[in-house]
Amino acid sequence: MRMWMTNPGLMCSKHLRGEYHELFAILGILRKKRSIAGYIKNNLIEPQALKERYLVLRFEMLRRHFKPEAFFDYSDSLLDYLPDAYRLYRINREESLKILLKRCPNCRERYMEDLWGASKLI
């Protein structure tokens, strides 16, 4: 489970949909008040960004003509049980992007197209 916290326009469809669905799994963990220590330790989730990230990913999915779920049952109170260090944790975006580009040739291709402006020519 991971929040990439990178520009969703650079993500391949597989990673875009994957992160989107993982946000719902993260909600489940928070509702059950489970520990997220391992996710924080491994730079995988950013609790305070859940709602905004959902909206950004959903917008990109709609832009690509996918049909994302419209209901994200999020409330700020879901984070109340977390210590400040976890609730306020921010993902190292540079590191996350490096991992994504190393893992996925499709994301890497989209990134390179954007980097060189090719996506702006279409």
Can you give the residue ranges of every domain in the chain? 8-121
From first to last of its 122 residues, the chain has per-residue pLDDT tens of 899 999 999 999 999 999 999 999 999 999 999 999 999 999 999 999 999 999 999 999 999 999 987 788 899 899 999 999 999 999 999 999 999 999 999 999 999 988 776 545 44
Place of tokens 């059950």: 32
Record the pTM. 0.89
Per-residue DSSP letters for 43-108?
T---GGGHHHHHHHHHHHHHHTT----S-----GGGGTTS-HHHHT----HHHHHHHHHHH-HHHH
Q: What is the pLDDT of residue 122?
A: 44
